[in-house]
Amino acid sequence: MVSISAQPYDYELPSRDRMALVIIDMQRDFLESGGFGEALGNDVSQLRAIVPALKQLLDTFRARNLPIIYTIEGHRSDLSDCPPAKLRRGKGNLKIGDKGTMGRILILGEPGNEIIPELHPRDNETVIFKPGKGAFYNTDLETLLQKQSITHLIITGVTTEVCVQTTMREANDRGYECLLVEDATASYFPKFKQATLEMVRAQGGIVGWTTSTNNILEALKEYIMQSDRQKIQSNS
Ligand code: TIU
């Protein structure tokens, strides 16, 4: 059994294909000027700090053919999947569906809705399009995870206290073992990120665990060596 050093205690990894890297909403809408994040009044530039850590995780999962799931927050062009309350929310000049410098704000298929180029999904990787903050609400994520027997989710992306935390709580209630990667998640409000990390791992990991990218990469090296050894033994 391989464990990742984590808080509030070590996170035990399951057998090889039962864990997935989940990359939440790393789309231009939240990271670039002219998108939804800026329309809500945020300084979007600060979210880019997590891109190198995310790239390292992505490269490692890709190199080992481990499952990767991306999410994108967005709505149909006729806004039929956007509750009026969500549409009304915010005080900026631009609302969901309005035309911005990257196309219509938070609309599926628009340039602003794409995942940033550094993390762009490959054709064989899963993308979940979600109308809400949580990745389970009105999506087929749960069906997909059950079909692949995935039980462990390594959770990353933006923003920590909104879509990331909502998704992690939804997953926790459904019985998934969730590990939030501290340096691969970001918020427009650093103090909200910090509070989220603390509340997730409080009370003996009431919502899950937190750790660093380095701890994951270290543990995965050991994990891959062990599973390669087992394969060699079972073939001999
Ligand atoms: N506004 C904000 O912090 N986040 C969102 O609206 N969506 C996500 O977190 N993806």
CA of 81 to the centre of ligand 1 (A): 17
pLDDT at residue 28 in the model: 98
pTM, to two decimals: 0.96
Pick the residue with more confidence: 207 or 92?
Answer: 207
Q: Is 130 a known active-site residue?
A: yes
Angle value at C-alpha 27, between 19 and 116, nearest 5 degrees: 90
Torsion-angle region of 207 (φ positive above 0: left; ψ -120 to 50: alpha; else: beta): alpha
Q: What is the mean pLDDT of residues 137-146?
A: 98
- The least confident of 6-10, 149-153, 159-163, 218-222 is 218-222
Closest CA to 31 of 13, 17, 46: 46
Taking the CA of residue 163 as reference, the ligand 1 atom at the shortest distance is: 9
pLDDT at residue 90 in the model: 81
Confidence bin at 236 (pLDDT 50/70/90): confident
Confidence bin at 222 (pLDDT 50/70/90): confident
Q: What are phi and psi of 108, to 5 degrees?
A: -55, 135
- The least confident of 2-6, 49-53, 89-93, 219-223 is 89-93
pLDDT at residue 139 in the model: 98
Mean pLDDT of the chain: 95
